Chain A
């Protein structure tokens, strides 16, 4: 992640409390290759079972609150990176999921008032990281997002935590 603005069309997955087992089921735990993880993403989430097999390349995903609660499952981050997902916007994230995402370079953006955001499937969004604002370019509405902490940006700019560790 290098740019200060992220633009992409949005895929809505407005479900609260999505658990890591709904993102990538525990029966698949021995799978670690990103390309093999990819088709299983949301495979256990009612109504979104086909997400992993569809082309969602380059999209932003919009979710509800408590996204990624549950297990320490790194695959639940890897799978979105394999899809080329640019960012996940949600009201809140499970703390372990948040850290796993940052460490791997997946941008998570917290929007406390997400229910007030005027957005529909396939709208084009712009996340302005410096100004902590998300603009819906399709209808010109906008909403504030939580400031992304500097250490998080540093880790992501280094290309992830492991790259940072090579210099330590």
Chain B
């Protein structure tokens, strides 16, 4: 019996090739379990489908979803028309739409059980690989691949080499999974993971919640990795059983073939921040202490969950946001919105002076770009991209919800301890 890494195993299960076809570098046709598109790229996928496959049905309408999440306000008439095109096509082909206000498609896939561990899902979102946090092979794809996949149910994939990454040690709050993710990004970018998959191991992994695992896996894209996996364990099983879905655990074979093994020491990590102009320009927070910040956004598929917003609420309870700062919160999904309301975090943050915006992709897509605009609006977000000019003309920093909330109070980057009420 051959032994496989997680990605090899999942790919193998979606082809009919023999074991000896499963090796890194080989390109295989695969059957996909789910194809999605959203209000960015979705309309072009529909155009391509209609142009090339006019009169055809999709391969399976129950394996396709549209998840408009980029432009929650349709803040340009073009967006409203694009979203309408999705609804009309979806109705015609009897395809489900998680419409505006539902939130980020990639999160809905696991929150609502559209995808389960061991599945392959393709969508027009370069952070679809966050699904690796639940043992799902999620991949971002362009318009062409998605139109093809909607017609044929197939896609192609180059089997990547897999690096085994062992995280050694532990850390304590106010250090959080985002600090871990940033530090790991810095290490993996230096190490070089372009075109490779990663599997995460270490005692810390057992401790991380599903949301924290998502945060960890969300920055693999920023080092041009294919995906970061956490094997689906009991925590994953329990997560799915909460939405009434039974799943099987899935993990790599014990003697799987890794291209290399990297041990990363995360003991007493402390807080990290990505500085302009690249996500991988990660520094210890102490190197940028005092940097003035004028615009702060908590959101994105990296850190937009109720747990992330709760981290910010802990810091902001009974405090006031600095008058120089515009502070926006964009929950990842409607479910997160409900959760923060139930536990009172929404009130806490509103009373501190924060502003809530509709669930969606926040500033990573153009739809909520306005939150950060302006030449002087030095921004700090909890997202995953700070490429120069991407979200506003001024500098952008990326950090945890804790660091973001502390900066919101002081109007500058500070150690969280400075604002935590004893």
A residues bordering B, Cβ < 8 Å?
Answer: 17, 19, 21-22, 25-27, 29-30, 32, 44, 46, 65-66, 69-74, 77, 92-96, 98-100, 103-104, 149-152, 155, 160-166, 168
Q: Is the CB of A162 within 8 A of B140?
A: no
Please indicate the chain A residues that have their CB under 8 angstroms from the CB of B48 in the complex: 162
Q: Is the CB of A165 within 8 A of B152?
A: yes
A-B pairs with lowest CB-CB distance, top 10: A100-B142, A74-B142, A103-B144, A74-B143, A72-B140, A151-B27, A30-B78, A165-B148, A19-B387, A21-B390
Kindly state the separation between the CA atoms of A164 and B144 in the bound complex, as whole angstroms. Answer: 11
Kindly state the separation between the CA atoms of A42 and B29 in the bound complex, as whole angstroms. Answer: 33
Please indicate the chain B residues that have their CB under 8 angstroms from the CB of A103 in the complex: 142, 144-145, 148
Q: Is the CB of B142 within 8 A of A73?
A: yes
Q: Is the CB of A65 within 8 A of B142?
A: no
B12 in contact (CB, < 8 A): no
Q: Is the CB of A149 within 8 A of B385?
A: no
B51: nearest residue on chain A (CB-CB)? A162
Please indicate the chain B residues that have their CB under 8 angstroms from the CB of A96 in the complex: 126, 139-142
Q: Is the CB of A44 within 8 A of B388?
A: yes
Partner of A26, one of B194, B195, B365: B365
Please indicate the chain B residues that have their CB under 8 angstroms from the CB of A98 in the complex: 158, 195
Instruction: Say how far A132's CB is from chain B's closest CB, in angstroms.
Output: 14
Please indicate the chain B residues that have their CB under 8 angstroms from the CB of A25 in the complex: 389-390
Q: Is the CB of A162 within 8 A of B52?
A: yes
Partner of A151, one of B156, B160, B226: B156
Please indicate the chain A residues that have their CB under 8 angstroms from the CB of B156 in the complex: 99, 151, 155
Instruction: Say how far B49's CB is from chain A's closest CB, in angstroms.
Output: 9
With A73-B142, A161-B145, A166-B53: A65-B387 Cβ-Cβ less than 8 Å: no
Q: Is the CB of A92 within 8 A of B79?
A: no
Kindly state the separation between the CA atoms of A166 and B148 in the bound complex, as whole angstroms. Answer: 9
Instruction: Say how far B371's CB is from chain A's closest CB, in angstroms.
Output: 14
When A and B form their complex, what is the total count of cross-chain residue pairs whose Cβ atoms lie within 8 Å?
127
Instruction: Say how far A64's CB is from chain B's closest CB, in angstroms.
Output: 12
Please indicate the chain A residues that have their CB under 8 angstroms from the CB of B390 in the complex: 19, 21, 25-26
Instruction: Say how far B266's CB is from chain A's closest CB, in angstroms.
Output: 25
B369 in contact (CB, < 8 A): yes
Having A72-B142, A96-B142, A163-B52, one finds 13 other A-B pairs with CB under 8 Å, namely A30-B78, A30-B82, A70-B385, A72-B125, A72-B141, A73-B142, A74-B142, A92-B194, A96-B141, A99-B145, A149-B27, A149-B158, A161-B145
Please indicate the chain B residues that have their CB under 8 angstroms from the CB of A150 in the complex: 27
Instruction: Say how far A72's CB is from chain B's closest CB, in angstroms.
Output: 4
Q: Is the CB of A71 within 8 A of B126?
A: yes
Kindly state the separation between the CA atoms of A74 and B388 in the bound complex, as whole angstroms. Answer: 20
Instruction: Say how far B301's CB is from chain A's closest CB, in angstroms.
Output: 13
Please indicate the chain A residues that have their CB under 8 angstroms from the CB of B280 in the complex: 17
Please indicate the chain B residues that have their CB under 8 angstroms from the CB of A166 in the complex: 52-53
Q: Is the CB of B44 within 8 A of A74?
A: yes
Partner of A104, one of B53, B141, B144, B154: B144
11 A-B residue pairs with CB within 8 Å: A22-B388, A70-B126, A71-B126, A72-B141, A100-B145, A103-B144, A151-B156, A161-B148, A164-B148, A165-B53, A168-B154
Question: What count of chain B residues pass the 8 Å CB interface test?
Answer: 51
Please indicate the chain B residues that have their CB under 8 angstroms from the CB of A65 in the complex: 194
Residue in B76, B145, B225 whose Cβ sees the most chain A Cβ within 10 Å: B145
Q: Is the CB of B152 within 8 A of A92?
A: no
Q: Is the CB of B145 within 8 A of A30?
A: no
Q: Is the CB of A29 within 8 A of B366?
A: yes
B320 in contact (CB, < 8 A): no
With A70-B385, A72-B141, A161-B144: A27-B52 Cβ-Cβ less than 8 Å: no
Partner of B389, one of A21, A74, A92, A152: A21
Please indicate the chain B residues that have their CB under 8 angstroms from the CB of A22 in the complex: 387-389
With A27-B369, A71-B126, A166-B53: A94-B141 Cβ-Cβ less than 8 Å: no
Q: Is the CB of B27 within 8 A of A94?
A: no
Kindly state the separation between the CA atoms of A93 and B52 in the bound complex, as whole angstroms. Answer: 28
Q: Is the CB of A160 within 8 A of B144?
A: yes
Kindly state the separation between the CA atoms of A155 and B78 in the bound complex, as whole angstroms. Answer: 33
Please indicate the chain B residues that have their CB under 8 angstroms from the CB of A92 in the complex: 194-195, 224
With A17-B278, A30-B82: A69-B224 Cβ-Cβ less than 8 Å: yes
Please indicate the chain A residues that have their CB under 8 angstroms from the CB of B124 in the complex: 72
Q: Is the CB of B366 within 8 A of A27?
A: yes
Please indicate the chain A residues that have their CB under 8 angstroms from the CB of B29 in the complex: 151
Kindly state the separation between the CA atoms of A162 and B76 in the bound complex, as whole angstroms. Answer: 30
Partner of A29, one of B40, B53, B160, B389: B40
Contact with A along B151-162 (1 / 0, CB 8 A): 110101010100
With A22-B387, A92-B224: A66-B194 Cβ-Cβ less than 8 Å: yes
Please indicate the chain A residues that have their CB under 8 angstroms from the CB of B142 in the complex: 72-74, 77, 96, 99-100, 103-104
A46: nearest residue on chain B (CB-CB)? B388
B100 in contact (CB, < 8 A): no
